[in-house]
Structures are given as C-alpha cells and as structure tokens.
Structure 1
Amino acid sequence: GGLFVTLTESGFNNNLGYAVDTKTSIRKDAYLFGEAQSRVVISVSAEKAAAVENLFATGSIDFEKLGVVTDGGITIDGENWGNITSWKDKYNNAIGNLLAGHESGQALAAL
C-alpha cells in the first residue's frame, strides 16, 4: 500500500505515470509504502495548480506538491522505476503467478 500503490493504481486506466520527489527527512520506504492515515491525493492540471494551492492556503489546509503526471514513465527522485504498463501487469498477475506454483523467489521477482 501507501503512496506508491496509490499513484500507480491511479495511472492504470489511462496508462499514465508520474515523476515525484520524496522528502529527504523521511526514509524513502516509509514515504512510498507507509500507510499513515488522513491523506488525500489529487491531480490538478498545470493551469489550475496555482488556484488550488491558493484555495488550500486560504483554508489553512496543509498540502504538498508531489510531482507531475507523465505519459507512462515512473520516476522517483530522478530514478527510473519503469513504466505504468509493466507495473499494471505485475499488479494484475502477481497473485495468479504465485498460485500457479511459481517459486516464491520468482513470484517476488515478478513484483
């Protein structure tokens, strides 16, 4: 779960990826896979970003810009993490591969 899964799942329908930068004050694994509560992820067009940021600021709503939507590539802290099509395939087939008798090492490597 966590932010990585949220962002990745959100790109499945339209085969969109993302480029994000993690906070250096938080371990990368905790930032990407932690399941802390009370967070909402929204996607806003570049043209409306300033208006949304102003709305949040006037309402005293804490927010953080995570990154940008891409045409399929996934980049985290400047590092290529593959593309949405590959992650979608892994997501949709990991349990089936495990149940089909793949050894655990192969099943985990598929992730």
Structure 2
Amino acid sequence: MSKERTDQRNQSYAKVLLDNSQPAYIRDISARGFRVYSPVPLPYKEGSTITCLIIPTDSEGQSFKISGEIRWNKLDAEGEDIMGILISSFEDKKGESLYHSLNMRFSKKIGSV
C-alpha cells in the first residue's frame, strides 16, 4: 500500500457507530475515506470490512451508512485508537450525497475568509 496521499484531507467532526456497536468519531475526512478515532482499542484488523453509521453533530444533519475497508489501525501517543477507512460503498445515493456534503462543509477554500 502506498503511503502517498492524493486526496485533500479536511479537518471535520462527526460521531460514528462501527458495526452497530463500537462508538467512535471522525476528525479527518477526504473524498474517498476518513480517519476514525476511539478512546478505547477497537477490535478490527487491517483489511477488514466495516459498516459505519455516520451521525453528523449539527441538528440538521441526517445519519447515513457507509461500508469501508480498514487500511490501517494504530494507537496514538494519547492512547486513542485511530483507523484509516477507505470507502467501498454507500448504502444509497442519499448517503453518498450526505457524505460529500459533510466533506465540503469542512473543506477550506483558498482565499476565502
């Protein structure tokens, strides 16, 4: 697996429920995937497939489901488990649209105030 990143990664935040049972949250997002953070170790290995219920934190945001592949899983210096997830599919077109809206909400436009 190449360590070269081709997609811009944006700082973001949303709650996530992994496989309907493991709570976590997104801090970084790109067009093709995202990082998930958890204060407890997560029982997933690289290459595993996972379902993610994304729960935006704003009151207008609708929840949606994504399936993805775990590209890597590690503990950071603070003891948080961090996983990189590559999106493999969306539950439906509405979920795909909601994900792209979440990504755009946190993207920074050059020259904007």
* TM-score bucket (shorter structure): under 0.3
Return the structure number with greater helix share. Answer: 1
For CA contacts below 8 A with separation 6 or more, give which structure has more relative contact order: 1
TM-score (normalizing by structure 1)? 0.23
TM-score (normalizing by structure 2)? 0.22
Higher-Rg structure is 1
